[in-house]
């Protein structure tokens, strides 16, 4: 369970500090599919970084499965990220020097799994995104859509309970974007909590719940009837 309690993220910018998050309270239950929507600069990424334990609130508390992340040490946060969270970034964020296989394998390496034990889950994850035959390729030898699928495989491989996606379709054409979104829905159907960040209402409609952010504040939070 994800729980933000009156969270502020304030960047000290000279005389006028930027309130990227300005008192956000939000609870996301297990198995939900939530879209966070808002204009550019509204604080979506900031919010996701906090949910993803990549950043800590300036004020307020963030509880993940009842634990206060802000009070954790670096390595404890790393442990949570590794075990509980899967990231899908707008820019894919694959490591260019590593092959597809090696990229997908990383979360398992940091979990301390041996080489032999890693093989099967990596192949399973690549199979899910349909890229087994590309496992020896470098990211630069793949199309944008394929790279994003690799990053999805990487997010899945450790079987995390929460998938966080920040504009996962931002760099893709509408068709491949749709495929990626279908994928997210499938993951949600399989029981994962999915948090999707977008500025596009059409995409947000894929979710079961939409949270609107504006200037660091939640302006709307509503449940959706599923399209289709």
Partner 1 sequence: MNIEQSFKMAIKSLRTSKMRSFLTMLGIIIGVASVIILVSLVNGLSSEITSSLEAAGTNTISVNIMGRGSNKSFGADDMAAFIEENKERFKAYSPVVNAQATAKNGVDSVTTSVTGVNELYAGMQGVTLEAGRFIQFIDADRLQKVCVIGTYIADELFDGAVYADSTVKINGSSYTVVGVLEETADSTEGSGDDIIYVPYTTATRLAGNANVSSYTIAARDVANIDDTVDLIRTELYGAFGNENAYRVVSMSQMIDMMNEITGSIAVVLVGIAGISLVVGGIGIMNIMLVSVTERTREIGIRKALGARRSAIMSQFIIEAATTSAAGGVIGILVGAALSFAAGAVFDMSVAPSVGAVLIAFGVSVAIGMIFGYFPAGKAAKLHPIDALRYE
40 binds, among ligand ATP, Mg ion, partner 1, none (CB under 5 to 8 A by kind): ligand ATP
CB of 55 to partner 1, least distance (A): 4
> How many angstroms separate the CA atoms of 222 and 212, rounded?
9
Q: What's the min distance (Å) between Cβ of 155 and partner 1?
A: 9
Q: Does 93 help bind partner 1 (rule: CB under 8 A)?
A: yes
3: which 2 tokens?
Answer: 């729980």
**Minimum distance, C-beta of residue 96 to ligand ATP, in the bound complex (Å):** 23
Our finding on whether 148 is near Mg ion (CB under 5 A) is: no
Phi and psi torsions of 156, nearest 5°: -85, -30
| Cα 112 from Cα 146, distance rounded (Å) | 27
- Asked if 3 and 32 count as a contact pair (C-beta separation under 8 A), the reply is no
Residue 109: which of partner 1, ligand ATP, Mg ion, none does it interact with, CB under 5 to 8 A by kind?
Answer: partner 1
Rounded distance between C-alpha atoms, residue 37 and residue 55, angstroms: 20
Q: Does 90 bind partner 1 (CB under 8 A)?
A: no
Burial of 41 (0-12, 13-18, 19+ CB in 10 A): middle
Nearer to Mg ion, 45 or 146 (CB): 45
The residues of the shown chain that bind ligand ATP, judged by CB under 6 A, are 11, 13, 18, 20, 38, 40-46, 199
For residue 69, what is the enclosing H or E element? none
78 binds partner 1 (CB under 8 A): yes
**Considering only 64-72, 81-89, 129-137, 171-179, which stretch makes contact with partner 1 by CB under 8 A?**
81-89
8 Å CB contact between 199 and 171: no
Residues at the interface with Mg ion (CB under 5 A): 45
């Amino acid at each position: 369970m994800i729980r933000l309690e009156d969270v502020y993220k304030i960047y000290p910018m000279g005389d006028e500090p930027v309130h990227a998050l300005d008192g956000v309270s939000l609870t996301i239950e297990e198995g939900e599919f939530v879209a966070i929507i808002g204009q550019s600069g509204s604080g979506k990424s900031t919010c996701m970084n906090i949910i993803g334990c990549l950043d800590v609130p300036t004020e307020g508390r963030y509880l993940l499965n009842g634990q206060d992340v802000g009070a954790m040490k670096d390595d404890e946060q790393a442990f949570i990220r590794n075990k509980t969270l899967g990231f899908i970034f707008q820019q894919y964020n694959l490591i260019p020097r590593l092959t597809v296989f090696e990229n997908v394998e990383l979360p398992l390496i940091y979990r301390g799994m041996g080489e032999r034990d890693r093989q099967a889950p990596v192949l399973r994850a690549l199979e899910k995104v349909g890229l087994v035959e590309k496992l020896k390729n470098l990211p630069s030898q793949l199309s944008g859509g394929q790279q994003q699928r690799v990053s999805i495989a990487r997010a899945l491989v450790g079987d995390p309970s929460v998938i966080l996606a920040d504009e996962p379709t931002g760099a893709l054409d509408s068709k491949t974007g749709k495929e990626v979104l279908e994928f997210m829905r499938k993951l949600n159907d399989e029981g994962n909590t999915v948090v999707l960040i977008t500025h596009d209402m059409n995409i947000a409609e894929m979710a079961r719940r939409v949270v609107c952010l504006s200037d660091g504040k939640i302006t709307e939070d509503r449940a959706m009837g599923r399209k289709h």
